[in-house]
Amino acid sequence: MKKRNHLILACIGLALTGTQLHAQEVIKKGKYTLTYESNDQSFDPKLKEKLVATFFEVYPKLAKEYNPKTLKEVKFFIDTAYKGVAATSDGVIVFSPAYMSKHPGDIDVVTHEGMHIVQNYGRSVGPGWLTEGIADFVRYKFGIDNPGANWTLPALKPEHTYKNSYRITARFFVWMESKVKPEIIKTIDQQLRDHTYTADSWNKLTGKNLDELWAAYVQNPSIS
């Protein structure tokens, strides 16, 4: 049989949990499977399609670039009880339908949260700001429509530090790969997964510790 390159709807089901109706689909493409579940019957079908399409476009790229052994089966859950933006645990990405409905252009939430699955640091030896900074660094590199969400890396401000996490840290990492050492973040990501990362990793890779790297960044923060 010829391989199909388009999405294959493997099954459609309805599961009753408590008093809420959960719509569930299992979608396969290549070696990856996405289970989509929602307890929000009003969730925009077009937005759902965009989230699913983003997963199948981005997740295989992240797996290839950072962790080919990452999970092949992932679940999306649109959960009305969740009040944040999105969160990831054990291969499940939970989305807030309220947030996504107000910010339908922010489909690269999938890219950030998908990277958390790919990271798979387990009992990480690294700090939280580093994990989140890497995820937003990856969103910057691999996001398919960051402009559609008005999502950008913020200009450096005096009060910023590399420990601010998310986009502030991500911008520092973009600068580091451009000005100091190409693919250093990929190396740090691998060390975190292997549990070989230490605070001295930066010095071993660049000859400078994080504070020294940040001081150099502050002196010339251009990432162009």
Cα separation, 62 vs 71, in Å, equals 11
Whether residue 156 is predicted with pLDDT greater than 70 in this model: the reply is: yes
- Is residue 89 within 8 Å of 107, Cβ to Cβ? no
Whether residue 3 is predicted with pLDDT greater than 50 in this model: the reply is: no
Cα separation, 220 vs 224, in Å, equals 11
- As a whole number, mean pLDDT of residues 178-191 equals 98
Percentage of residues of the chain with pLDDT beyond 90? 88
- Sequence letter at residue 148: G
Whether residue 9 is predicted with pLDDT greater than 50 in this model: the reply is: no
Cα separation, 21 vs 159, in Å, equals 47
**87-136 pLDDT tens trace:** 999 999 999 999 999 999 999 999 999 999 999 999 877 999 999 999 99
The closest of 134, 34, 17 to 92, measured between CA atoms, is 34
Mean pLDDT over the full length of the chain: 91
Q: Which of 10-24, 44-58, 62-76, 192-206 has the lowest mean pLDDT?
A: 10-24
End-to-end C-alpha distance for the chain, whole angstroms: 47
pLDDT for 21 equals 53
pLDDT for 69 equals 97
- Sequence letter at residue 223: I
pLDDT for 123 equals 85
For residue 217, what is the enclosing H or E element?
helix 210-219
Structural domains for the chain = 1-120 (3.30.2010.30), 125-224 (no CATH)
